[in-house]
Amino acid sequence: GQAESYRILHEADLRDYLAGRPKLVAALGGGPDEWSITEVGDGNLNLVFIVKGALGGVAVKQALPYVRLVGESWPLPLSRAHYEYLALTRQAQLAPGLVPTVLHHNDALALTVMELLEPHIIMRKGLIAGTQYSRFVDDITTFMARTLFFTSDLALTAAEKKEGIAAFAGNHALCKITEDLIFTDPYRVAEQNRWTAPYLDATAAGLRDDMELHVAISRLKLKFMASPEALIHGDLHTGSIMVTDSQTQVIDPEFAFYGPMGFDVGAVIANLLMAYFASSGHERSPDERRAFEGWVLETVEQVWTEFARKFLELWRKDAAGDAYPVSLFPGEKGAARLEAERQAYMQRLLGDTVGFAAAKTIRRIFGLAHNIDFELIEDPHKRAVSEARAVRLARAMMVETGAFPAIADVTSAARKLR
């Protein structure tokens, strides 16, 4: 029961634990002795086991009391498993079919049992291999438009909104990781920073010396800290998305809290842009991946345009929230003015998205946590060329955000840098 105290479940303990839960025994099928249990966690923070029985499989995620990537010297609250569970169940209501179904959760053990996603792979790996995903735009934009809109003041009463903020406010240790690793450390000397040396040494020094950039990243940090616009996923990179040709599933919302919407949209766009810039480093013959690269940039454009279209559609039809009271916008004149204001809102959200996308890019090249899009480019010079292009665009997106009034301005700048 919930009274039990936390312990790390190793394979044998996990088998016993699952065997004691009839619903899970039924889902797995066969006898517990026949279940295969494999630890597959490739993330930075937690343990993930895949358990398979005669009838089916489950994924079991357990939080560790420290950051897995770094070790016990960096403690991290187990409560993140509670927030992940809360976010997963909320997202399942708002965006059905786009997150794995939760089958069981135990707060004391910081453990969640969920639907096994199979044969899904982590999208980042598919992108590195040069695979195009035809469902991705529609699914990810539905996920973002619905989870962000329906947890915002446009859809909720003020009381509901504040209850939502309160429910996630305790997840501040995870927010602090973002505040430090994304919004601060890459721009100063920090022990955990690393980059492709010596090629990017001068660029790294430049980041530490660039006061315009420091102002821009500080504004973004403040926006991240002080803008509870909606329940955001908080870690929506392509390593938090599992795909097949016909399905998209969003996993790993342990960073969820009420924050700025552009942080999620920007995360998706940044990770597509990094896949684009890394792509030339993965080609086996010149221009082999041009079609893929074209698809990635088209996808960047569509992620924004489809997200904006769906979000606006929800706003026009489902605006039950306390923000923008319709009584203030009567008649045809009111409706026209409100529609213009919706467009202005989306324009500001695009600006946030562009800025956050830039922040997410720079941290992956100079901070603690890198991504395999770049890391798997073996030749460090080639890797540095890809990374330098990404950083150049990111610096412009962050400091001269106004020069990117449309998403096509981002993609055409990316195209020119190839």
Nearer to Mg ion, 156 or 272 (CB): 272
297 binds, among ligand ADP, Mg ion, none (CB under 5 to 8 A by kind): none
48 binds, among ligand ADP, Mg ion, none (CB under 5 to 8 A by kind): ligand ADP
Site for Mg ion in 10-49 (CB under 5 A): 43, 45
Asked if residue 101 binds ligand ADP (CB under 6 A), the reply is no
- The only residue of 24, 76, 78, 114 in contact with ligand ADP, by rule CB under 6 A: 114
Give the interface segment with ligand ADP, choosing from 42-50, 186-194, 284-292, 366-374 (CB under 6 A): 42-50
Tokens (6 digits) for 300: 């960047």
Nearer to ligand ADP, 29 or 380 (CB): 29
Asked if residue 346 binds ligand ADP (CB under 6 A), the reply is no
CA distances for 47 relative to 91, 120, 153, 315, 385, angstroms: 22, 18, 35, 39, 34
94 binds, among ligand ADP, Mg ion, none (CB under 5 to 8 A by kind): none
* 3-class state of residue 412 by DSSP: helix
Whole-number Å distance between alpha carbons of 97 and 81: 21
* 3-class state of residue 187 by DSSP: helix
- Would you tell me how many other CB atoms lie within 10 Å of the CB of residue 223? 18
Site for ligand ADP in 219-248 (CB under 6 A): 240
Whole-number Å distance between alpha carbons of 392 and 399: 11
**Residue 102 falls in which region: left (phi positive, over 0), alpha (psi -120 to 50) or beta:** beta
Residue with the closest Cβ to Mg ion? 43
Element (H, E) at 297: helix 290-318
Nearer to Mg ion, 173 or 340 (CB): 173
Q: Which residue has the tokens 């996630």?
A: 168
Tokens (6 digits) for 358: 């830039």
CB of 369 to Mg ion, least distance (A): 10
Asked if residue 281 binds ligand ADP (CB under 6 A), the reply is no
End-to-end CA distance of the chain: 56
380 binds, among ligand ADP, Mg ion, none (CB under 5 to 8 A by kind): none
Give the interface segment with ligand ADP, choosing from 43-51, 157-165, 181-189, 286-294 (CB under 6 A): 43-51
Give the interface segment with ligand ADP, choosing from 39-47, 70-78, 101-109, 172-180 (CB under 6 A): 39-47
Q: Which residues pair with 52 in a beta bridge?
A: 36, 57
**Site size for ligand ADP, by CB under 6 A?**
20
- Positive or negative, the CA dihedral 325, 332, 146, 180 is negative
Whole-number Å distance between alpha carbons of 401 and 89: 35
Q: Which residues bind Mg ion (CB under 5 A)?
A: 43, 45, 252, 254
Q: Which residues bind ligand ADP (CB under 6 A)?
A: 40-46, 48, 59, 61, 100, 114-117, 122, 240, 251-252, 254
